Amino acid sequence: MGKKLDAAFLEQTVHQMTKKKNNFGAVLCVERGDDFSWTGSAGNLQKDDRYFIASVTKLYVTAVILKLKAEKKLDLDDPIMNFLPEEVMDRLHVYSGIDYSKEITIKHLISNTSGLPDYFSYKQSNGKTVAAELFTGKDQTWTLDETLMLVKQLKPKFKPGQKGKVNYSDTNYQLLGRIIENITGSSMRDVFHSFIFDELGLTDTYVYSDESDTSPAPIYYKSAKLHLPHYMTSITPEGGIVSTAKESMLFLKAFFNGRFFQKEEIERLKQWNKIYFPGQFYYGIGLEKLWTPRVLSPIHPIKEILGFWGQSGAFAFYNPERNVYFTGTVNQLSGYGHSAAYQAMIRILKRSS
């Protein structure tokens, strides 16, 4: 391993991540088991910079949900109506004139099989999506109450749990956040801290809650630098965590090695549905799997790469076949960052076969 995956090769790899247009910086942390660790950066990012992990936050939600499940405080098949008030549930999911709200389970939310519309990518009455407005720099809060006002005006994509159907929806995670708060009696900020950050001794990882906090590295959409403090403080359960590549690595390894729940649970999360937007990957129960066709490494197949993407180009993934972990970011919302990170991971895995 040491000869194949050396510092010079990884330095070259992280610099390649910044070669795509508008990828102004990259941070990459790579570990194999407990015997190899490397962290580097390129462009306008330093290896210890704090950054918004965006939807990688959802993997932390998975850890919390499975910990609550282990403590018998919930079951994945529990209807969400058991944990949410009537004003939230009222006409939450009306599909073809039938109200399916009471049929939605926690599993439907965490696997994106509820059919609920994604407030982030649906057009509002002004014809623009929330995403498009944010990408042009329009900073606005999206609390659960604001999300529900929009979502209840939209048509669901399908019935809850409809076979073979999946729709990536941040709405699901806003609801999961409220469910966790109602079960624990604590805010999501406090839950993340007590369940994960304090448990792992993380000192550079926190929930973004102070709009004057400018310590996280700025996110770009194409060539524009975005400053979205109102939005980032309002989306804690779907994307509100700030961390570093090294501390994200500590969490990722804890997640896959039984720190928060029994390792056997990982296999139960692998109920895959293929997603084509945003991007092409597989979605399980609170877990993503990258699309890795055999042609990428025909002699030594890569097999599974498990973890989570963030809209910001943040990533946290694990390849069990080679016992290699990846964390980092490119801080680019356009999608070019994701492809650069994907190519870097594949390049490293092929080298380490």
How confident is the model at residue 2, as a pLDDT? Answer: 42
Q: Residue 206 is which amino acid?
A: Y
Instruction: Please name every residue paired with 332 in a beta bridge, in sequence order, or none if there are none.
Output: 220
Per-residue pLDDT reduced to its tens digit, 87-109: 999 999 999 999 999 999 999 99
Q: Hey, is 31 helix, strand or coil?
A: strand
Is the pLDDT at 353 greater than 80, yes or no? no
User: Averaged over 292-309, what is the pLDDT?
Assistant: 92
CB atoms under 10 Å from CB of 242, counted, come to 21
Q: Tokens 């009222």 — which residue?
A: 90
Q: Is it the case that residue 3 has pLDDT exceeding 70? A: no
Q: Which residues contact 265 (CB under 8 A, 6 or more apart)?
A: 66
What pLDDT, in 10s, does the model give residues 32-45? 988 899 999 999 99
The region of weakest confidence among 127-136, 203-212, 318-327 is: 127-136
Is-contact 93 104, C-beta < 8 A?
A: yes
Reading the block at residue 305, the tokens are 């790469």
Provide the residue type at 199 as one letter. E
Residue 277 has pLDDT above 80, yes or no: no
pTM for this entry: 0.97
| pLDDT tens digits, 207-221 | 999 999 999 999 999
> pLDDT band at 1, cuts 50/70/90?
very low
Q: Is residue 203 classed exposed, middle or buried when 0-12, 13-18 and 19+ CB atoms within 10 A define those classes?
A: exposed
Residue 164's identity, in one-letter code, is: G
Q: What is the pLDDT of residue 303?
A: 94
Q: What is the pLDDT, as a whole number, of residue 28?
A: 98
pLDDT band at 124, cuts 50/70/90? Answer: confident
